[in-house]
Structure 1
Amino acid sequence: MKQIVYFLLIFLFSFNLSAQNKYDLVIVGGNPGGITAAIAAARMGKSSVILERTAYIGGLPANGLGATDIATRMATTGLFLEFVNRIKDHYVQTYGKDSQQVKDCSDGYHFEPSVATKVFNEMLDEYKSKITVLTMRQFDSDPVNLDMYNDRIQCIRVLNRLTNVVEEYSASVFLDATYEGDLGAAANVPFRIGREGKDEFNEPGAGKIYKFWGGPEAQGTTFQPDNAVQAYNYRLCLTNNPSNKTTVQKPANYNRSEYVSLIEDVFTGRNTQVDMMQVTSEMMDKNRMLILKGQPTQLPGDVWGIHKITNMVSVPNSKTDANNQHRAFISTDLPEENWPWPTANWEWRDRYAQRLKEYTLGLIWFAQNDAELPSHFRKEALKWGLAKDEYADNGNFPRQVYVREGRRFEGLHFFTAKDAVPVSAGSRPPVYANSITASHYALDSHAVLKREKGRIHLDGFLSYPTAVYTVPYGVIVPKSVDNLLLPVPVSGSHIGFSTLRMEPCWMAMGQAAGIAASVAIDKDVKVRNVDINLLQTELLQQHATLIYYKDVLPDNPHFALVQAMGLRGYLPDWEARLNDPVDAETIKQWSLLAGRKLSVGAGETTRVKLLTEIFEMLKH
């Protein structure tokens, strides 16, 4: 009898543990894409758990990426814009609406890491009854760590890094919100790593390429494919405020030889800007003489002091988002050594993260202290240090590597450069009727190799312009796994992914994934069979933008109408011009799209009234 009771207790305990770890959504990764997925699902009544490997949620915005990467600010809205508005509200409430901090926050698009963390936590706290956040939970990308049946993930197993106990979590839908794509890979979703050649998709910047920053391709460019991964770095929060500055110390594993090439770059003024096309050796010799006389660099495109090794954008309270310097041959990026990261285990990744940290601190220490550098260069560099009120438990250093690109999955839609580049001058890129967000950033990739003798820049460091584009649902949907969405390691080529990989777009795709998962649960369908109309309707109710118009933003009463009709092809231009009289050519075009003759004459009504009539007609 005692034995039966014992086994019954074990069964009940196991059942209860299983019930506690069962959610509507399991989200692996506590970066912004995972956070917005959980919030969007919570708004639809769904429960979720966020499993984050580190002790903190928030991803890169909470780790130094405080200057938001978005080219057209109102192109991406929804939960991303809510985050931005909360950032601004924080600075207004804390310092006053006329304060310098409010000006420096740039309407909420520029922020301190600690403020991003605060805002993300506040957004999650509003849905405590639906969202569970568990930190220090590590998912190792191995098929043994998940159970699948009939193309569905049943459960996954993660390591609790605090207790060293393996925990099991089950859900109706799983989301991979990791920067690396660890969950999708464990589920055997096909993925790519490296650079496609130009001949595969005819993309600008594809394959091996050397170009001046802002200039043309140059010698050494072959456009050939390879296995190279663009460089990672840390986004540093630096300050020149003496009362909040902590001096950078020489790291334990300092290797001066890694940085000595900077000395000649400083004296000659050599850089990677397009201006160098006009620079002669005589100009560089003259620059050296001026520097030896105590003057700063005079060479076109060159910068001085700490700016020589990091590109800084101001955020509030005299701090900066300090990124890799795109003008430089040597900066905070550490190319080549990160190539294994996407598929490596966490032991390797942790070693590389420490190596990158020491390399970065060593670079700054070198720029500030090496005796072979000009004294006035060092003095200028020494004005800057780590902000002592950020990352107080981590030596004031960011906790997370900027993983710009990990695995790229092959989903229902494979996003390439052609999806972000206008089909003709002044027009839009292709418009996708199943769009889940609009977005806008350049085709942007960092280097894949360290400096090479005779090259004008680092291999793969590039930027090409785009226009505001639409993102089709298929980029987050695998072809085979029925209950998995991929809002962060999305489907695309190296060049196509290079514009999708910005946090505003990741947040928007996360929001769409949370809604899509909820619809799939409600309708009991595979994620690839989610009704796009239901998905888009809910996205619009959550104030997302699916197609961008300069003159119709989310607060416009006709916003939903314009979104729906724009995706149907009725409004191909950048402005909807709703109050303009409808002209004969427009009536002709809209009649063709509607499949029937519209009984209205030119100038008899406005564009918005006719659009409304057509929209109502199409419903029936």
Structure 2
Amino acid sequence: MSTTPDFINEREGRVPVAARADLLVVGGGPAGISAAVAGARNGLSVILLERYAYLGGLASGGMVLVLDDMCNGPEISVRGLCGEMIDRMERLGLCVVPPESERLSDETLWRKWSRWGVFDFHSHVKPQPICYAAAFDPDGYKRAANDMVREAGITLRLHSWFSRAIVEDGHITGVICDTKSGRQAVMGSIVVDATGDLDVAASAGAPFSEGSFIVTTVFRLGGVDTEAAERFEYEEPEAFAALDREAKKIMGGSWDKWWLKTPLPGIVWCNCPHMAGFDGLKVEDLTRADFVGRDRISALLTFVREKMPGFENAFVIDVAPQIGVRQTRLLEGVYVMTKEDVTQRRHFADTVARGRDYYYPYRSLLPRDVSQLIVAGRHYSATSSAQRISREIPPCMAMGEAAGVAAALALDAGVTIDRVDVAALQARLRAQGADPGDRPAQNALVAVAAE
């Protein structure tokens, strides 16, 4: 090893191969879990790598505790493994979903359900309709994910921090990760980048762009009398509005409802404060965001304990171990989705996943210039403005499910991942309970064919 004032020059040493599989999934968040489970259930040997000590990514570690953007009016548009995850958490008593009979616009139902966050936040109808969405507990997501991964026979390697991609002649063959045992190589015939930040694809040389959006230090409060808080909100609306404005000012920005109920009594979650100007790829920014966020949380707690009915005995349960980063690197893949694709509900012949009323073509999961690599998650191929309105957790799980099934079809057929028969992929996904979006909704614009 040699050094200069600005660089350390490492001598590449021998890295042991720790494991091999048909499918290697890097990133154990919602998209990665889905990709791994889908691949394993379709007959592949699968390795799932995750840097943290748990599964779930921003759903559990980032504590984004509502699954939404998965229905188009009364139509459920995200099914498959996302629906299974919800069902499993419900059986654990750690997930709440409004019954179908109460998914409509009604003042009484709004008061009953809005503080769970299970309403159509895109609707211009007042009150906004209650819809198919799920409020869940972060440990419930981890437990359900563990069960799904264990039952599928997946080789799970936690505490494994991705370092770089292994690429030979434009073909990805595996990755190197850093662990407590040293650097290790993990190999896969097909690799899924489910890192959220496009770490694998960027390392492999795939083209990408960079974007940014607000970040959040999500937190939970305990000791909250939610009945008293809601009673104050509806019975003294002017006084409530004044205090609510002040709370949001202290935080420096939040969604309209800065606190929501959770399945655990007396515990609420707060998807705030909103903080702009931080780069989710920079150590300095992530460190500063954590300090700024905690300072704002402390100031908010002091205020609500003194002023807000129902919060007199509130205390901080926890701050999410993962900062809520919404956008960093974005793949520039075979097809780059635009804001118009999302807002005009443009349907594609090679659609393999859906969100609320928008569609993801298979090409948006495929990088250029790197073979045997597919992406799944918020770093899919899209412009920054398109990604901001189409990056919710349920459709990311749908992307992951499509990626895992695609890997199985590719290996079964002896073709590369970019040559999968998309019609066969759509049929397999639908047969397994997912909705690949191959049947466009009535409000879709059927205007783009796969190239």
Between the aligned residues of both structures, percent identity stands at 24
Using the TM superposition, give the Cα deviation of residue 502 of structure 1 relative to its aligned residue in structure 2, in angstroms. Answer: 0.8
Using the TM superposition, give the Cα deviation of residue 72 of structure 1 relative to its aligned residue in structure 2, in angstroms. Answer: 2.0
Out of 27, 30, 35, the residue aligned to residue 28 of structure 2 is 30
Equivalent in the alignment of 1:321: 269
Is 1:297–1:304's contact at 8 Å kept on the other side of the alignment? no
- Partner of 2:136, secondary structure, is coil
- Partner of 1:545, secondary structure, is coil
Q: Deviations over 1:573-615 (max 9, x none)?
A: 259xxxxxxxxxxxxxxxxxxxxxxxxxxxxxxxxxxxxxxxx
Q: Is 1:476 matched up with 2:365? A: yes
Aligned counterparts of 1:92 and 1:364: Cα–Cα separation in 2: 25
Q: Which moved more, 1:483-492 or 1:108-117?
A: 108-117
Q: Deviations over 1:163-191 (max 9, x none)?
A: 3x000111111111011111110011111
Using the TM superposition, give the Cα deviation of residue 70 of structure 1 relative to its aligned residue in structure 2, in angstroms. Answer: 1.4
- The residue type equivalent to 1:529 in the other structure is R
Equivalent in the alignment of 1:159: 178
Q: TM-score under structure 2 normalisation? A: 0.76
| Runs of 5+ consecutive residues of structure 1 not aligned to the other structure | 1-13, 195-228, 243-294, 325-331, 388-395, 423-428, 441-467, 548-562, 576-620
More strand by share: 2
Equivalent in the alignment of 1:70: 69
- The residue type equivalent to 1:408 in the other structure is L
Is 1:484–1:527's contact at 8 Å kept on the other side of the alignment? yes
Q: Is 1:335 matched up with 2:276? A: yes
Q: Is 1:385 matched up with 2:303? A: no
Using the TM superposition, give the Cα deviation of residue 437 of structure 1 relative to its aligned residue in structure 2, in angstroms. Answer: 1.5
- The residue type equivalent to 2:79 in the other structure is T
Using the TM superposition, give the Cα deviation of residue 491 of structure 1 relative to its aligned residue in structure 2, in angstroms. Answer: 0.3
- The residue type equivalent to 1:238 in the other structure is L
Q: Is 1:133 matched up with 2:156? A: yes
Is 2:409–2:420's contact at 8 Å kept on the other side of the alignment? yes
Equivalent in the alignment of 1:46: 44
- The residue type equivalent to 1:365 in the other structure is S
Is 2:352–2:436's contact at 8 Å kept on the other side of the alignment? yes
Is 1:158–1:167's contact at 8 Å kept on the other side of the alignment? yes
Map residues 233-252 of structure 1 onto 2, 5 A cutoff: 233-241=216-224
Out of 75, 80, 83, the residue aligned to residue 82 of structure 2 is 80
Q: Deviations over 1:298-335 (max 9, x none)?
A: 65x953557963511212123223112xxxxxxx1232
- The residue type equivalent to 2:176 in the other structure is R
Is 2:193–2:374's contact at 8 Å kept on the other side of the alignment? yes
Q: Is 1:112 matched up with 2:153? A: no
Q: Residue 320 and residue 302 in structure 1: after superposition, are their counterparts in 2 closer, same or farther (change >3 A)?
A: closer
Using the TM superposition, give the Cα deviation of residue 234 of structure 1 relative to its aligned residue in structure 2, in angstroms. Answer: 2.2
Is 2:40–2:152's contact at 8 Å kept on the other side of the alignment? yes
Equivalences, count: 380
The structure whose Rg is larger is 1
Aligned counterparts of 2:362 and 2:313: Cα–Cα separation in 1: 47
Using the TM superposition, give the Cα deviation of residue 546 of structure 1 relative to its aligned residue in structure 2, in angstroms. Answer: 2.5
Using the TM superposition, give the Cα deviation of residue 78 of structure 1 relative to its aligned residue in structure 2, in angstroms. Answer: 1.1
Aligned counterparts of 1:375 and 1:241: Cα–Cα separation in 2: 10
- The residue type equivalent to 2:54 in the other structure is Y
Aligned counterparts of 1:358 and 1:93: Cα–Cα separation in 2: 31
Is 2:304–2:311's contact at 8 Å kept on the other side of the alignment? no
Out of 458, 478, 500, the residue aligned to residue 390 of structure 2 is 500
Equivalent in the alignment of 2:92: 90
- Partner of 2:429, secondary structure, is helix
| Runs of 5+ consecutive residues of structure 2 not aligned to the other structure | 1-13, 100-111, 119-131, 226-237, 445-451
Task: Identify the structure with bigger relative contact order (alpha carbons < 8 Å, sequence gap 6+).
Answer: 2
Out of 410, 414, 432, the residue aligned to residue 524 of structure 1 is 414
Equivalent in the alignment of 1:545: 435
Using the TM superposition, give the Cα deviation of residue 92 of structure 1 relative to its aligned residue in structure 2, in angstroms. Answer: 8.4
Q: Residue 115 and residue 530 in structure 1: after superposition, are their counterparts in 2 closer, same or farther (change >3 A)?
A: same
Q: TM-score under structure 1 normalisation? A: 0.56
- Partner of 2:172, secondary structure, is strand
Using the TM superposition, give the Cα deviation of residue 22 of structure 1 relative to its aligned residue in structure 2, in angstroms. Answer: 1.0
